[in-house]
Amino acid sequence: MRDLGRELADALRPGDLVLLTGELGAGKTTLARGVGEGLDVRGAVTSPTFVIARVHPPLGDGPALVHVDAYRLAGGLDEMEDLDLDASLPESVTLVEWGEGRVEELTDDRLHVMIERAVGAEAGPEGGDDVRTVRLLGVGARWSAGDGAERLRRLARWAPSATASRKGDRG
Ligand SMILES: Nc1ncnc2c1ncn2[C@@H]1O[C@H](COP(=O)(O)OP(=O)(O)OP(=O)(O)O)[C@@H](O)[C@H]1O
Ligand SMILES: [Mg+2]
């Protein structure tokens, strides 16, 4: 999943908003850590108990990574607004866990990265707990035309379908 995050980082540009979806322990933070490594930003991406948003400044020429864990945000958009994400959004890559229904109003364009644990028949001999299926969905003009569409298409090598998927490897 970290490798996947590094690959994802290659395709991300300043101004991108990425929503990470998936149940508790699906691997959202693990993926975000890979993105942080791929973008070469300062500090490891973690899931801190009290911090909701953390800015990881770039070590090189790339964009900063803004990592948001909205799980504890009850207040929806009002509380989101207090984070001033709209101010940092244009120059940064913004990754949000548990952002559905909370950050959509920030921008019309977003990339959904949906992480699912394998269940039932999909689960491997080891119990399958470590297998993840990742699907991508680009929403808005940014991802449906031009450079964004091209980036999404390149990411789609994770899988043959338009909404890309790929089995993630462990942590
Ligand atoms: N294929 C895999 N991909 C990602 N994580 C995996 C995988 N297999 C096992 N794991 C483990 O699952 C856990 C995922 O935790 P992580 O914090 O990334 O999830 P999360 O989606 O951010 O959870 P939360 O909703 O609590 O924020 C880690 O302990 C990781 O080692
Ligand atoms: Mg997390």
pLDDT of residue 76: 58
Residue range(s) defining the domain that contains residue 37: 2-168
Closest residue CA from atom 4 of ligand 1: 27
**In the chain, where does DSSP find H-type helix?**
2-11, 28-39, 77-82, 85-88, 141-144, 146-155
pLDDT of 68 above 60: yes
Q: Which residue has the tokens 């338009």?
A: 162
* pTM (two decimals): 0.86
Domain total in the chain: 1
**Range of 47-61, 76-90, 134-148 with top mean pLDDT:** 134-148
Atom of ligand 1 nearest to the CA of 168: 1
Closest CA to 83 of 61, 68, 64, 72: 68
Residue type, 77: L
* 42 or 70: which leads in pLDDT: 42
pLDDT of 47 above 50: yes
pLDDT of 164 above 50: no
Specify the CATH number for the domain of residue 14.
3.40.50.300
pLDDT of residue 160: 42
The C-alpha atoms of residue 115 and residue 53 are separated, in whole angstroms, by 21
Average pLDDT over residues 36-48: 93
pLDDT of 54 above 60: yes
Give the number of other Cβ atoms within 10 Å of residue 16's Cβ. Answer: 22
What is the whole-number distance in angstroms between the Cα of residue 141 and the centre of ligand 1? 31
